[in-house]
Amino acid sequence: MAAEPPVLSVQGIEKRYGERRALRAISFDVGPGELVAVVGPNGAGKTTLLSILAGVQRPSAGTVVGPASELAGARAIGWAPQEPALYSKLTVEENLQLFARLEKVADPHGAVHSMLEHTGLSERANERVDRLSGGNRQRVNVALGLIADPRMLALDEPSSALDPRQRARLWEFLGELAGRRTSVLFSTHHLGEVSRYATRAIVLADGELLFDGAPGDLIALGGPDAEDLEGAFVAFLADRGH
Amino acid sequence: MRWLLAKDLKILSRSRMLVAVLVIYPVAIALLIGLAISRSPSKPRVAIVDETPPGQTIQVGSQRVEVSEYAAQLFSQIQPVPVASRAQAVAKVKAGDVLAAVVIPRNIAARLSSNLVPAHLEVIYDGDALEQSLVHSTLNSALAQANLGFSEQIQQAAAEALERLLQGGNLGVLGGPQNLIGLSQIPAGLNRIIARLPPGADRAELERISQFAQFGAQNLLLSKNVLSTVSQPIRVQSTLLHGRRTPLNTFAVVVAVTVSLMFISVLLAAGGVALEREEHALMRLVRGLISRERLLVEKGLLSAGCAFVVAFAMLAGISAFVALDWSRVGQWIAALAFGAVAFGALGVAIGALAREVRAASLLAFLLSLPLAFLALVPAGSVAAGVNNAIDAVSFVFPFKAALQALDAAVNGASPSIGSPLIHLAALTLLFGALARVGLRRAD
């Protein structure tokens, strides 16, 4: 994997809101098929980082080099924001059709049907989004992020509104994606999911990148008292004054 | 942009209640405003206690004026409800059956004829400050009109008496002297007699009388003219500075249509933009799928288009009842289109700044309604400072300019349509720029 060029390369990005620095000199790479977790306390800058990668915001400094340089515009990185970004009066299929056309997908119909099958939403295709459960809305949200078949998907707390069964299905789906060499970068507060599904973890606190490595390495850094990733994560942050 | 437009139309078609409210509510409001402006207020119901004996007259010289003539003048301004006594009138006022009561006293004719003491009418009224104000203004106006009409009759009778004095003739009084000589005829008759008299004291005396008669006749003629002037000392001559006179009902049509145009365009545009943010779709859209400018243009044009269709349909429908000049339809379309787009720009600015659909709708509503009323406040009806403030507010929002454009288009009113259209175009750019600033953040 090390020999393959990264799908995404983040170089020294900063984000300032007036005097406040939301992100400070963040740099990392993401390789093909990696499942990278971005963790950190509230206000660490996770959502800001993901929205910059997704192209919703521009960094104040630094560069994001990745699939965006190969494919035009929004098709480069798929994005699923924390709150499902869907038109509630449209059906699942209509939402997918709309964004397939806006993303200028070559075969919108084919892409929509393929996405409905992959996400297990075929039976719900004609249901209006405002009548779906929270789990299914999140699945449509993820499906919209994938409609243009991006090489990388950025997900902001994708499992936060899901019950355990829905969460398991989501991770199964994301695992399949990674298996097809689609890189997945996700933010989360569920450290159990990080240890179970992520191949890498990035720890942010106060806009600073404090750790970038395998979840097992983070457990090791947590010291002898850390029983699991959550314990190690808390100890790690405390050691660094957070 | 067409996919976004198709999406918005689909969402609109699935929000039937919203569409119904957006169309029915402004049209209803507009029609109410139109009716309020175009219809003169109905005559107030006033109880009348006429205590004068039937056929009572007022003596003016040799002429008699019927008291009932005065009552008739008064009744033309109100809806009279005859009652038998003052007590009944008081009861009706207390019960709210009538706005007020007027008691015409038994001695009114005697007092008017005496020329010594003025006659009095008693006005009985009740109610809150608003009703009291209405009674005051309505009855004062009615009584002023009646007094004017009555004084004209008295002046006419007085003028006839003077004419008889000047020209002579029959007094028309049973048993009175016939074929009386008039004052104006005396000098000529006297001069003929004087010419036949030798110079002396008698002739000098007659010459003095002749001179006096001539002087008297000339001054009585002047008095007669003065009387007609005094009865209505100031007459109104109206000069319209520019444009042609706009009938109130066609102006009401213009107001009603402009109000509908405003509500539909502003509310739809504000709601449409705010909905993109509320559904979190804005973040998805602006990451390269569609620019913020195109998104705003799409929302503005969609709302303007809907408002235009409803407003034009209103104009066409109203033309079945009110005579509108269809040869000016090109100007109607221009005025409606520019107005709808300017209101759409205001709407997208509100939607971009308010961020939530409910807040945007509320803000759009709270802003639109007072603006419409402010623009309708007649210049000069309020203090100069307030008037300047109203003018300034009306200038920076599209309602007044849209109203002027449509009034010019429909009624040929002044100012001509050109300057309001330029004004609307400038406001469209201003609010478009404001909307772009409001949409800077996508979350």
HEC string of A35-63 equals EEEEECCCCCCHHHHHHHHHCCCCCCEEE
Residue B4: partners with Cβ closer than 8 Å, 6 or more residues away: A98, A102, B285, B290, B295, B298
Report whether B180 contacts B163 (CB < 8 A).
Answer: no
3-class SS of residue B31: helix
Structure confidence at residue B425 (pLDDT): 96
DSSP letter assigned to residue A18 = T
DSSP letter assigned to residue B115 = S
Q: Give A70's pLDDT tier (boundaries 50, 70, 90).
A: very low
Q: Does A135 touch chain B (CB under 8 A)?
A: no
Q: Does A55 touch chain B (CB under 8 A)?
A: yes
pLDDT at B240 over 70: no
Return d(Cα B218, Cα B200) in angstroms, integer: 27
Least confident among A57-71, B267-281, B390-404: A57-71
Write out chain B residues lying below 8 Å of A96, CB-based: none
Shortest distance between the Cα of A89 and any Cα of chain B, in A, equals 6
Shortest distance between the Cα of A199 and any Cα of chain B, in A, equals 27
Q: Give B14's pLDDT tier (boundaries 50, 70, 90).
A: confident
Most A CBs within 10 Å, among B5, B10, B287, B439, to test the A interface: B287
The pTM (predicted TM-score) of the whole model is: 0.71
Residue-wise pLDDT tens digits, A139-160: 899 889 888 888 899 999 888 8
Q: What percent of chain A is modeled with pLDDT above 90?
A: 28
Calculate mean pLDDT across residues B218-237: 68
**DSSP per position, B120-163:** --EEEE-S-HHHHHHHHHHHHHHHHHHHHHHHHHHHHHHHHHHH
Interchain contact, B290 vs A94, CB within 8 Å:
no
Report whether A242 contacts A205 (CB < 8 A).
Answer: yes
Write out chain A residues lying below 8 Å of B290, CB-based: 102
Sign of the CA dihedral A128, A132, A134, A137? Answer: negative
Q: Does A58 touch chain B (CB under 8 A)?
A: no
Structure confidence at residue B1 (pLDDT): 77
Residue-wise pLDDT tens digits, B148-175: 777 777 777 778 878 888 888 776 665 6
248-287 of B, contacting A, C-beta below 8 A: 279-281, 283-287
Shortest distance between the Cα of B317 and any Cα of chain A, in A, equals 33
Residue A203: partners with Cβ closer than 8 Å, 6 or more residues away: A39, A40, A209, A210, A211, A212, A218, A233, A236, A237
Structure confidence at residue B183 (pLDDT): 84
Most A CBs within 10 Å, among B2, B5, B7, to test the A interface: B7
pLDDT at B219 over 80: yes
Q: How many CA atoms lie within 13 A of B198 on its CB side?
A: 0
3-class SS of residue B419: helix
pLDDT at B350 over 70: yes
Return d(Cα B439, Cα B292) in angstroms, integer: 7
Task: Tell me if the bond preceding A158 is cis, omega within 30° of 0.
Answer: no
Calculate mean pLDDT across residues B3-32: 81
Structure confidence at residue B237 (pLDDT): 61
Structure confidence at residue B334 (pLDDT): 95
pLDDT at B215 over 80: yes
Structure confidence at residue B58 (pLDDT): 72
A230 - beta bridge partners?
none
B278 - beta bridge partners?
none
Q: Give B423's pLDDT tier (boundaries 50, 70, 90).
A: very high
Residue with more model confidence, B241 or B146? B146
In what helix (H) or strand (E) does residue A8 lie, and over which residues does it extend?
Answer: strand A8-17
From the list A56, A81, A102, which residue is nearest B290 (CB)?
A102
Interchain contact, B10 vs A79, CB within 8 Å:
no
pLDDT at B305 over 90: yes
Calculate mean pLDDT across residues B241-260: 73
Domains of chain A, each with CATH number or no CATH? 1-70+151-242 (3.40.50.300), 88-150 (no CATH)
Report whether B274 contacts B355 (CB < 8 A).
Answer: yes
Structure confidence at residue A191 (pLDDT): 87
Structure confidence at residue B42 (pLDDT): 67
Write out chain B residues lying below 8 Å of A86, CB-based: 279-281
Return d(Cα B434, Cα A169) in angstroms, integer: 45
Write out chain B residues lying below 8 Å of A18, CB-based: none
Least confident among A84-88, B27-31, B161-165: B27-31
Structure confidence at residue B255 (pLDDT): 87
Residue-wise pLDDT tens digits, A54-66: 888 888 999 888 7
From the list B4, B7, B280, which residue is nearest A85 (CB)?
B280
Structure confidence at residue B266 (pLDDT): 94
Structure confidence at residue A67 (pLDDT): 63
pLDDT at B400 over 60: yes
Structure confidence at residue A71 (pLDDT): 42
Q: Does domain B45-145 have CATH number 3.40.1710.10?
A: yes
pLDDT at B185 over 80: yes
Sign of the CA dihedral B270, B276, B277, B282? Answer: negative
Q: Does B288 touch chain A (CB under 8 A)?
A: yes
Calculate mean pLDDT across residues B252-266: 89
Calculate mean pLDDT across residues B100-108: 84
Interchain contact, B281 vs A87, CB within 8 Å:
yes
Write out chain A residues lying below 8 Å of B15, CB-based: 89
Buried-state track B301-337, b at ≥16 Cβ within 10 A, e below 16: bbbbbbbbebbbebbeebbeeeebeeebbebbebbbb
From B81, B70, B160, B84, select the one nearest B113 (Cα to Cα): B70
Residue with more model confidence, B288 or B280? B280
Interchain contact, A101 vs B3, CB within 8 Å:
yes
Report whether B3 contacts A101 (CB < 8 A).
Answer: yes
Report whether B71 contacts B48 (CB < 8 A).
Answer: yes
- Beta strand A77-80 with A20-30 is unpaired
Calculate mean pLDDT across residues A103-132: 88
Structure confidence at residue B428 (pLDDT): 96
What integer best gives the mean pLDDT of chain B? 82
Q: Where are the domains of chain B?
A: 2-38+246-438, 45-145, 182-229
Residue-wise pLDDT tens digits, B69-102: 667 767 777 888 889 999 999 999 888 888 888 8
Least confident among A172-186, B29-43, B373-387: B29-43
Write out chain B residues lying below 8 Å of A98, CB-based: 3-4, 7
Interchain contact, B287 vs A79, CB within 8 Å:
yes
Calculate mean pLDDT across residues B38-56: 76
Q: How far is CA B400 from CA A201, B7, B28, B251, B373, in A?
A: 60, 33, 20, 13, 10
Interchain contact, B287 vs A98, CB within 8 Å:
no
What integer best gives the mean pLDDT of chain A? 85
Q: What percent of chain B is modeled with pLDDT above 70?
A: 85
DSSP letter assigned to residue B416 = P
- The angle formed by the CA atoms of residues A7, A10 and A16, to the nearest 5 degrees, is 145
Write out chain A residues lying below 8 Å of B280, CB-based: 81, 83-86
Structure confidence at residue B283 (pLDDT): 85
Least confident among A96-105, B219-228, B292-301, B403-412: B219-228
From the list B11, B279, B288, which residue is nearest A85 (CB)?
B279
